[in-house]
């Protein structure tokens, strides 16, 4: 869209959006608070009349009494209190999720396997149709009739489709019927009755059937066949990702690292190959850091671990979390160690901006204000120091404030905000009186200074400072 | 609130009938296993089941205990025998290729065995429970998996279910006289429905619903990815409404426990604010609070007789209102707090800039910083997808850099998520060397050529260009930002996004209804990758011209989910035009649900 670039503030203060603000001090919010007080004050009145008559009966958990969810919980709790001893003698349903996908996916077969000992007996029952349904059973239905019967849940047979041509006609008919379940059912039959080379070859020209087949293989977890399928179709990147995905199933970190190492040879796209390499390197280092820090922590050698015990292991955390961790526990280590921030920064090509943000967060959390200061300080060739930042100082203030930085620290950074208005509004938000007073003095704005005097506590040091400035006859006010 | 409602707006049909049908069938099936039995329910089914039956009903039909099927031993109360019915969604049907009858959503297994397994008997039946009325004008298929299954995996397993749902609605509330639609899946669902109508018998009856509009979710992926700012949508974004029910945390209830609340038109307070822009809600709530105060204050001067009348006539209503009011005030307050904390204002500003297509570089740096600071992963992904959808893909350099930073911040295993997003067209890289128009015309040709139907599929990822800018201009989706927008008196559907954007999905519906078809929208449909249709049911041509009430009731079916904001927009449109919309959706969705279904970062 071509148009001028209006000032940001103009854009937001334009009436179009003015009606909507989430600002704390907004009228709406105050109004809301008032309404709340009003409504709450009524509460006592209500309760003195008779108690709950039309109030829905709810159980302790908040479920309405009599609802199904409530009843299920009731059953559970009664079992918990009385049924524990009997548990062993009763049939168990360990419906271990046997399928990769589907959060809601207890499969029927896993249910039936679970009756009794799954390793010995498999009770998956045959789901028979009533005999009457077999009455109209004839064996020479056309593909079209067969598909229709499948859709309608009637008895059908796929066995009669013997030749390749018949099978493909059946498949195409299923695709034409737009019924995914029928398509998959036919594919299951083709999978059983055709060699995979032939099936793969035929699927290449049948995109819809192919996607059903891939999804089916994913759901039943036939990884190997899927890899072969992708390979035969030259979809090497899909194949690589599919194999890479399997690392999620490897729980042990050493085995997972080895698995990732093995992934490095897969035909990823060049970009993804770099990421997978990073993944391997990262886990490799995390394992080393974890082992070391665990030992240091338990031996009680380092103060930092005593003061801030680790809440979780660093294994399998993202790169940035690892960097944060390293800035927190391993700040100042030399580049040579795997756990040093500098090393992590270099190894994973972390941008200046990203590095600064993460480091700032970690050092501020530790209230290491000296380190924070050092992050921004640069020396120019004359030896003067200056504070610089790849991100706006208003952002820095925000981050520091979120980490509960004291006013003395905050005001240094508020002072560095270039935009005067932004500086003043930040200073007001965080009560950096000195910044405000000095700014108004520099602006020679006597009126604002007088207004501000009204806002600070009488007799406070800020108040005295304003008085002092206002009485200074040397200053030339603009108003 | 302040909307003028056209007085002649028709009454909505009664959808509680659908609940009754499902309940009656369930009871019939339960009675197929005579005698006392337990009922084992899959966890996901509990809430929907709660909406159509309660424990008393089940007990009346010899259900003894209710269990959730989970990783726990089953303990039956009857000592030696287990007699029970299991209710399952039929998602993994293919493990029993014999049970292909796919349009039946639930299986019910009647199981009867003794604990030594010497006797074992199992029968199966199907329970066709696929339409759950969530409110007077919302019916859900409760199929959140639809979006991923169809749009990502390309699996058409739910197409017939959608067709059957239409078939059921058609036979109970139809016959429908006109059907409009757009999208491949819509077309297929329509076909499936048509076949089922032809197979079954037809009864002539008075139609309660006149017209139907079918729309695929991927026709408009921008709208569900926007932050919701209409009350009901915002509640869904923050607290997640599940099956028409929300759990308000202690923070909201200002007590020590959470409360589950049904959110629908029965809640008088909610009903008045659900469609309002959030900024308008406070005013309404405080006015209500004042009124309530006055009503209570009336008591002070009353004598005993007046007091008696007050207690018997007014008090109950006032107390009800009081309870609801304090809940919604609590909810608003808690939402305010959450939103101010995460700089909601700036987030919305970025979203609006993306929709308008200006200051894109600033948007990118905002997103970058969002990622760098490891703020909510789903939010970062949402912004990336919005950027890609509105800009027709990211420049290769941006794509590479943002992807790398995302993986650094949230975990490298999200490589898999990126691959999914690419596959679906949610987050793509602009193709170098090929201009958009070249590709468009190429794809356009393929789409028009019917014999190339199979080929289009292969090119579908190319065809998934969103063309958002061009569509926005063509349909006026993004009002000029220098005009005032008074959210108190909304002038169009853009109010649901603070006046910044009219949802594409709803705009299409409006346009097609206005034109009574797709004529004049050729350019639009071409950019949307075609697959539009408009069908008139033959016989009663003369009747159709008569503007009966049923003609002004429009059923809109979203395949792949719709958001509360879209429902609010349609309600607004309905009020303006004196029509009523009924929304049928595979599930209520929002940006978080939609994107979470794309994640592939766990085993």
Q: What is the pLDDT of residues B370-397, one digit of tens each?
A: 999 898 999 999 999 999 999 999 999 9
* Interchain CB contact of A445 with B (< 8 Å): no
Average pLDDT over residues B505-524: 92
What is the CB neighbour count within 10 angstroms for residue A93?
22
> Which residues of chain A lie closer than 8 angstroms to B149, CB-CB?
180, 215
Cα–Cα distance, A154 to B525 (Å, whole number): 39
Instruction: Name the nearest CA neighbour of A436 among A397, A471, A465.
Output: A465
Taking CB atoms and an 8 Å limit, are A72 and B66 in contact across chains?
Answer: yes
* Beta-carbon pairs below 8 A across chains A and B: 365
A7: closest CA of chain B, how far (Å): 11
Burial of A176 from C-beta contacts in 10 A (0-12 / 13-18 / 19+): middle
**Size (chain A), residues:** 479
The DSSP line for A366-382 is TT-HHHHHHHHEEE-TT
> Which residues of chain B lie closer than 8 angstroms to A249, CB-CB?
603
Confidence bin at A344 (pLDDT 50/70/90): very high
> Is the Cβ–Cβ distance between B73 and A116 less than 8 Å?
no
Taking CB atoms and an 8 Å limit, are B58 and A68 in contact across chains?
Answer: yes
* Residue partners of B259: CB distance under 8 A and separation at least 6: A58, A62, B247, B248, B252, B253, B327
Residue reference for tokens 């929208």: B521
Closest chain B residue to the Cα of A175, Cα to Cα: B156
Packed helices B468-475 and B377-390: angle between N→C axes, nearest 10 degrees: 70
This prediction has a pTM of 0.81
B222: closest CA of chain A, how far (Å): 17
Cα–Cα distance, B219 to A388 (Å, whole number): 47
| Closest CB from B66, B74, B145 relative to A68 | B66
Average pLDDT, chain B: 80
Cα radius of gyration (chain B): 26
Confidence bin at A131 (pLDDT 50/70/90): very low
| Closest CB from A33, A38, A63 relative to B260 | A63
Confidence bin at A303 (pLDDT 50/70/90): confident
Tell me the pLDDT tens digit for each residue of B453-479: 444 444 444 445 668 988 998 898 988
Which residues 280-339 on chain A approach chain B with CB closer than 8 angstroms? 282, 316-321
Q: To 5 degrees, how large is the angle CA A151–CA A157–CA A159?
A: 135
pLDDT for A297: 87
A398: closest CA of chain B, how far (Å): 11
| Closest CB from B76, B277, B600 relative to A90 | B76
B543: closest CA of chain A, how far (Å): 33
> Which residues of chain B lie closer than 8 angstroms to A92, CB-CB?
73-74
What is the CB neighbour count within 10 angstroms for residue B7?
6
> Which residues of chain B lie closer than 8 angstroms to A321, CB-CB?
374
3 state SS of A399? helix
> Which residues of chain B lie closer than 8 angstroms to A63, CB-CB?
260
Backbone region of residue A19 per phi and psi (left: phi > 0; alpha: psi in -120 to 50; beta: other values): alpha
A175: closest CA of chain B, how far (Å): 9
Cα–Cα distance, B501 to B319 (Å, whole number): 39
* Interchain CB contact of A273 with B (< 8 Å): no
3 state SS of B119? coil
Supply φ then ψ for residue B216, to 5 degrees: -80, 145
| Strand-pair partners of B86 | B40, B109
> Which residues of chain A lie closer than 8 angstroms to B260, CB-CB?
58, 62-64
Tell me the pLDDT tens digit for each residue of B158-173: 898 899 899 889 888 8
3 state SS of A23? coil
Average pLDDT over residues B225-244: 92
Instruction: Tell me if ipTM is over 0.90.
Output: no
> Which residues of chain B lie closer than 8 angstroms to A71, CB-CB?
55, 66
How many helices (H) and strands (E) would you count in chain A?
Answer: 25, 3
Average pLDDT over residues B58-81: 63
> Is the Cβ–Cβ distance between A77 and A65 less than 8 Å?
no
> Which residues of chain A lie closer than 8 angstroms to B531, CB-CB?
none
What is the CB neighbour count within 10 angstroms for residue B484?
10
Cα–Cα distance, B359 to B462 (Å, whole number): 27
> Is the Cβ–Cβ distance between B51 and B243 less than 8 Å?
yes
């Amino acid at each position: 869209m071509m148009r001028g670039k209006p000032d940001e503030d103009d854009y937001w203060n334009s009436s179009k959006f003015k009606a909507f603000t989430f600002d704390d001090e907004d009228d709406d919010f105050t109004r809301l608070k008032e309404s709340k007080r009003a409504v709450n004050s009524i509460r006592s009145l209500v309760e003195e009349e008779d108690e709950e008559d039309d109030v829905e009966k709810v159980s302790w958990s908040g479920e309405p009494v009599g609802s199904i969810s409530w009843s299920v919980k009731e059953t559970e709790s009664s079992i918990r209190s009385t049924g524990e001893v009997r548990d062993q003698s009763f049939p168990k349903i360990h419906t271990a999720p046997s399928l990769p996908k589907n959060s809601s996916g207890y499969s029927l077969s896993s249910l039936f396997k679970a009756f009794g000992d799954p390793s010995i007996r498999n009770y998956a029952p045959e789901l028979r149709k009533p005999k009457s349904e077999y009455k109209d059973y004839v064996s020479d239905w056309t593909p079209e009739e067969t598909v229709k019967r499948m859709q309608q849940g009637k008895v059908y047979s796929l066995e009669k489709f013997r030749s390749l041509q018949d099978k493909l006609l059946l498949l195409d008919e299923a695709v034409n019927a737009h019924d995914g379940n029928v398509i998959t059912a036919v594919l299951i039959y083709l999978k059983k009755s055709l060699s995979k080379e032939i099936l793969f070859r035929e699927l290449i020209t049948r995109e819809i059937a192919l996607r059903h087949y891939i999804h089916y293989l994913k759901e039943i977890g036939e990884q190997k066949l899927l890899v072969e399928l992708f390979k035969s179709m030259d979809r090497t990147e899909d194949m690589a990702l599919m194999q890479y995905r399997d690392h999620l199933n490897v729980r042990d970190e050493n085995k997972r690292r080895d698995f990732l190492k093995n992934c490095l040879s897969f035909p990823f796209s060049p970009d993804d190959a770099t990421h997978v390499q990073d993944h391997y390197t990262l886990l490799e280092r995390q394992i080393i850091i974890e082992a070391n820090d665990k030992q240091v922590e338990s031996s009680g050698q380092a103060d930092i671990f005593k003061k801030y015990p680790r809440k979780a292991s660093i294994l399998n955390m993202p790169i940035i979390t690892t960097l944060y961790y390293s800035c927190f526990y391993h700040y100042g280590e030399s580049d040579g160690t795997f756990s040093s921030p500098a090393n992590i920064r270099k190894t994973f090509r972390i941008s200046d901006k990203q590095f600064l943000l993460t480091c700032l967060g970690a050092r501020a959390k530790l209230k290491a204000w000296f380190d924070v200061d050092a992050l921004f300080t640069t020396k120019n060739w004359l030896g003067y120091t200056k504070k610089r930042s790849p991100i706006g100082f208003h952002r820095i203030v925000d981050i520091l404030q979120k980490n509960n930085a004291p006013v003395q620290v905050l005001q240094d950074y508020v002072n560095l905000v270039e935009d005067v208005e932004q500086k003043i509004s930040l200073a007001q938000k965080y009560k950096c009186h000195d910044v405000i007073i000095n700014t108004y003095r520099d602006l020679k704005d006597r009126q604002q200074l007088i207004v501000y005097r009204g806002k600070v506590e009488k007799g406070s040091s800020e108040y005295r400072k304003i008085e002092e400035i206002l009485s200074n006859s040397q200053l030339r006010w603009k108003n | 609130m302040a909307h003028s409602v056209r007085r002649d707006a028709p009454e909505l049909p009664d959808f509680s009938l659908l609940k009754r049908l499902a309940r009656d069938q369930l009871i019939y099936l339960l009675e197929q296993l005579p005698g006392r039995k337990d009922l084992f329910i899959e966890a996901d089914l509990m809430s929907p089941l709660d909406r159509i039956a309660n424990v008393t009903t089940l007990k009346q039909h010899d259900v003894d205990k209710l269990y959730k099927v989970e990783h726990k031993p089953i303990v039956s109360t009857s000592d030696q025998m287990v007699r029970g019915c299991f209710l399952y969604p039929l998602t993994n049907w293919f493990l029993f290729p014999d049970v292909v009858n796919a349009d039946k959503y639930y299986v019910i297994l009647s199981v009867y065995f003794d604990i030594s397994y010497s006797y074992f008997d199992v029968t199966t039946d199907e329970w066709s429970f696929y339409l759950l009325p969530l409110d007077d004008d919302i019916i859900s298929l409760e199929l959140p998996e639809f979006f991923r299954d169809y749009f990502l995996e390309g699996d058409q397993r739910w197409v017939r279910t959608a067709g059957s749902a239409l078939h059921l609605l058609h036979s109970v509330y139809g016959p429908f006289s006109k059907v409009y639609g757009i999208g491949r899946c819509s077309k297929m669902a329509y076909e499936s429905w048509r076949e089922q109508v032809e197979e079954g018998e037809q009864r002539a009856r008075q139609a309660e619903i006149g017209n139907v509009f079918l729309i695929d979710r991927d026709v408009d992926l921008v709208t569900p990815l926007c932050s919701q700012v209409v009350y009901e949508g915002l509640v869904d974004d923050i607290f997640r409404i599940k099956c028409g029910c929300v759990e308000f945390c202690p923070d909201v209830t200002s007590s020590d426990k959470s409360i589950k609340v049904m959110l629908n038109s029965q809640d008088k307070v909610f009903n008045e604010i659900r469609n309002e822009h959030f900024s308008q809600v406070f005013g309404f709530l405080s006015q209500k609070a004042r009124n309530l105060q006055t009503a209570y204050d009336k008591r002070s001067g009353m004598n005993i007789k007046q007091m008696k009348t007050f207690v018997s006539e007014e008090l109950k209503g006032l107390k009800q209102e009081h309870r609801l009011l304090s809940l919604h005030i609590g909810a608003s307050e808690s939402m305010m707090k959450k939103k101010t904390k995460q700089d909601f204002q700036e987030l919305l500003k970025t979203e609006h800039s993306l929709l308008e297509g200006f200051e894109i570089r600033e948007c990118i740096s905002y997103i970058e910083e969002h990622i760098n600071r490891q703020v909510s992963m789903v939010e970062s992904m949402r912004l990336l997808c919005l950027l890609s959808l509105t800009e027709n893909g990211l420049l290769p350099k941006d794509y590479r850099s943002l992807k790398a930073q995302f993986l650094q911040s949230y975990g490298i295993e999200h490589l898999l998520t990126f691959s999914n997003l690419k596959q679906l067209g949610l987050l793509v890289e602009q193709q170098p060397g090929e201009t958009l128009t070249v590709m468009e015309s190429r794809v356009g040709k393929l789409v028009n050529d019917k014999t190339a139907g199979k080929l289009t599929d292969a090119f579908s990822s190319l065809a998934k260009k969103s063309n958002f800018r061009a569509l926005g201009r063509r349909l006026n989706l993004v009002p000029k930002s220098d005009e005032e927008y008074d959210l108190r008196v909304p002038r169009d559907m853009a109010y649901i996004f603070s006046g910044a954007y009219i949802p594409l999905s709803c705009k299409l519906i409006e346009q097609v209804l206005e034109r009574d078809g797709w004529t004049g929208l050729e350019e639009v449909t071409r950019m949307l990758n075609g697959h539009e249709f408009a069908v008139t049911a033959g016989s009663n041509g003369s009747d159709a011209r008569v503007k009966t009430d049923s003609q002004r009731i429009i059923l809109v079916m979203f395949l792949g989910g719709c958001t509360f904001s879209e429902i609010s927009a349609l309600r607004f449109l309905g009020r303006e035009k004196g029509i009523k919309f009924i929304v049928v959706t595979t599930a209520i969705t929002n940006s978080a649900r939609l994107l979470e279904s794309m994640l592939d970062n766990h085993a």
